């Protein structure tokens, strides 16, 4: 890196604090990685609103983007006019997306040849671990059921056992799934992962290939979804998969709503086959007021906020970026590279 690498940080005035990239947060990153002070030139392009919001960018926002990306070597952001990138940014070597899911960028036919795309896998891990522990304990103590009873002013007295010694099946054994596995182990659970890569990894007692999904589902007291959203995982969990789960199992989804057939989930909750469920993600967000999920029994919902740490998410984002800068400087492969064919 003999010449300064030009890093364009794309953020918006209406970004929530958790996702806001500010001069103060950039300065904090440079304090953690002081060796890059003289090697990078970081500029912030601040638009009036987020590109994916409604209303979206105005003409001034488009002009800022088109002007600032021209000389950029690296772009750090979330969403932007994809069709214009290749023509506008001939020097662009690398794009880092500040989210783990990149389905909003698919298909990746807009990505310039030779430009690497990375995502934020791992930035959610500490908060995911805490949220998963909470959700597992809620299900173990039948809190969704008790919340339903409270709304009906019903004294639903019954007793449950301790969670230690139970088993969690974690669908997706990547960084988010690994954070769930850590949470489960801290609670004394056995863990089985389901992943296209069945190689052993920390905090999983075993990892099975997708061909053995039903085996994993049938053995588990709790099923947690941490899969990426792709064409292959759309409605991956439906009527047959819920039927394969153990009677009285608990269910958690913290990845993407479109992976789960919500009608099948509701049916399984109504029949009592599932004892309860916790959802943090939904196929349509915000969840429409007419959605039957609002009135589904034994279901606790949170509005897609369970795995995002308001104070530290962007700090960990910049840690990922700067660790990759070290790799770039050393001529090594970057971490969190998105596979163009797989889409994650």
Active site residue 239: no
Domain with residue 45: its CATH number is 3.40.50.720
Pair (138, 241) in one structural domain = yes
Q: Is the pLDDT of residue 1 over 60?
A: no
Instruction: Given the residues 285, 310, 329, 335, select the one marked as catalytic.
Output: 285
How many other C-beta atoms are found inside a 10 Å radius of the C-beta of residue 165?
Answer: 11
- Longest CA–CA span in the chain (Å) reads 70
Mean pLDDT, the chain, as a whole number?
A: 96
Q: Judge whether 337 lies within some domain.
A: no
Pair (206, 139) in one structural domain = yes
Pair (192, 259) in one structural domain = yes
Which residue(s) pair with 249 in the sheet? 274
Using DSSP, state whether 77 is helix, strand or coil.
strand
Q: Judge whether 57 lies within some domain.
A: yes
How many other C-beta atoms are found inside a 10 Å radius of the C-beta of residue 162?
Answer: 10
- At residue 2, the pLDDT reads 60
Total domain count, the chain = 2
Active site residue 304: yes
Q: Is the pLDDT of residue 54 over 60?
A: yes
Report pLDDT digits (tens) over 220-269.
Answer: 999 999 999 999 999 999 999 999 999 999 999 999 999 999 999 999 99
What does the alpha-carbon distance between residue 72 and residue 88 come to, in Å, rounded to a whole number? Answer: 10
- At residue 343, the pLDDT reads 86
Calculate Rg over the CA atoms of the chain: 22
Q: Is the pLDDT of residue 119 over 80?
A: yes
Which residue(s) pair with 294 in the sheet? none
Q: Judge whether 343 lies within some domain.
A: no
What does the alpha-carbon distance between residue 218 and residue 213 come to, in Å, rounded to a whole number? Answer: 9
Q: What burial class does residue 297 get, using C-beta atoms within 10 Å of its C-beta: 0-12 exposed, 13-18 middle, 19+ buried?
A: middle
Domain with 168, as residue range(s), is 125-301
Average pLDDT over residues 65-83: 97
Average pLDDT over residues 31-37: 97
Instruction: Given the residues 124, 145, 256, 258, select the one marked as catalytic.
Output: 256
Pair (16, 146) in one structural domain = no
Q: Judge whether 103 lies within some domain.
A: yes
H or E stretch at 301? strand 299-301
What does the alpha-carbon distance between residue 318 and residue 261 come to, in Å, rounded to a whole number? Answer: 35
Question: Is the Cα torsion angle 323, 80, 232, 266 positive or negative in sign?
Answer: positive
Q: Judge whether 236 lies within some domain.
A: yes
Q: Is the pLDDT of residue 126 over 60?
A: yes
Average pLDDT over residues 133-150: 98
- In 3D, which of 298, 265, 269, 306 has the Cα closest to residue 283? 265
Pair (84, 160) in one structural domain = no
Pair (255, 325) in one structural domain = no
Report pLDDT digits (tens) over 278-325.
Answer: 999 999 999 999 999 999 999 999 999 999 999 999 999 999 999 999
- At residue 254, the pLDDT reads 98
What does the alpha-carbon distance between residue 62 and residue 83 come to, in Å, rounded to a whole number? Answer: 13
Tell me the backbone φ, ψ of residue 243, rounded to 5 degrees.
-65, -30
Confidence of residue 3 (pLDDT cuts 50, 70, 90): confident
Average pLDDT over residues 69-78: 97
Buried b (16+ CB within 10 A) or exposed e, 19-28: bbbeeeebee
Four-point Cα dihedral 240, 246, 251, 256, nearest 10: -30
Q: Judge whether 341 lies within some domain.
A: no
Pair (87, 177) in one structural domain = no
Instruction: Given the residues 25, 46, 201, 304, select the one marked as catalytic.
Output: 304
Report pLDDT digits (tens) over 149-169.
Answer: 999 999 999 999 999 999 999
- C-alpha distances (whole Å) from 113 to each of 1, 75, 91, 300 are 21, 15, 11, 44
Pair (189, 290) in one structural domain = yes
CA angle 128, 130, 131 (to 5 degrees): 65
Using DSSP, state whether 207 is helix, strand or coil.
strand
How many other C-beta atoms are found inside a 10 Å radius of the C-beta of residue 310?
Answer: 13
Active site residue 256: yes
Q: What burial class does residue 35 get, using C-beta atoms within 10 Å of its C-beta: 0-12 exposed, 13-18 middle, 19+ buried?
A: exposed
């Amino acid at each position: 890196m003999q010449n300064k690498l030009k890093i364009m940080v794309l953020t918006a005035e209406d970004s929530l604090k958790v996702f806001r990239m500010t001069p103060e947060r950039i300065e904090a990153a440079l304090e953690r990685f002081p060796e890059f002070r003289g090697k990078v030139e970081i500029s912030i392009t601040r638009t009036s609103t987020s590109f994916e919001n409604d209303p979206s960018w105005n003409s001034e926002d488009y002009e800022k983007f088109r002007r600032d990306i021209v000389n950029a070597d690296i772009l750090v952001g979330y969403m932007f006019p994809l069709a214009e990138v290749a023509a506008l940014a001939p020097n662009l070597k690398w794009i880092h997306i500040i989210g783990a899911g990149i389905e909003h960028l698919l298909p990746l036919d807009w990505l310039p040849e030779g430009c690497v795309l990375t995502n934020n896998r791992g930035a959610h891990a500490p908060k995911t671990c805490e949220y998963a522990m909470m959700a597992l304990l809620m299900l173990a103590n039948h809190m969704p059921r008790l919340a339903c009873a409270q709304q009906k002013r019903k004294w639903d007295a019954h007793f449950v056992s301790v969670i230690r010694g139970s088993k969690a099946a974690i669908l997706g054994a990547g960084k988010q799934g690994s954070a769930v596995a850590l949470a489960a182990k801290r609670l004394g659970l056995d863990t089985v992962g389901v992943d296209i890569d069945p190689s052993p990894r920390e905090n999983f007692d075993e990892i099975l290939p997708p061909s053995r999904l039903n085996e994993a589902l049938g053995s588990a007291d709790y099923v947690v979804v941490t899969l990426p959203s792709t064409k292959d995982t759309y409605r991956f969990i439906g009527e047959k998969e819920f039927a394969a789960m153990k009677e009285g199992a608990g269910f958690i989804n913290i990845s993407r709503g479109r992976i789960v057939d919500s009608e099948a989930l509701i049916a399984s909750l109504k029949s009592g086959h599932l004892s309860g469920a916790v959802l943090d993600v939904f196929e349509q967000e915000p969840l429409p007021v007419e959605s039957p999920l609002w009135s589904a029994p034994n279901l606790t919902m949170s509005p897609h906020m369970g795995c995002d740490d308001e104070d530290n998410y962007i700090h960990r984002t910049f840690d990922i970026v700067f660790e990759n800068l070290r790799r770039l400087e050393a001529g090594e492969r970057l971490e969190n590279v998105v596979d163009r064919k797989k889409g994650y």
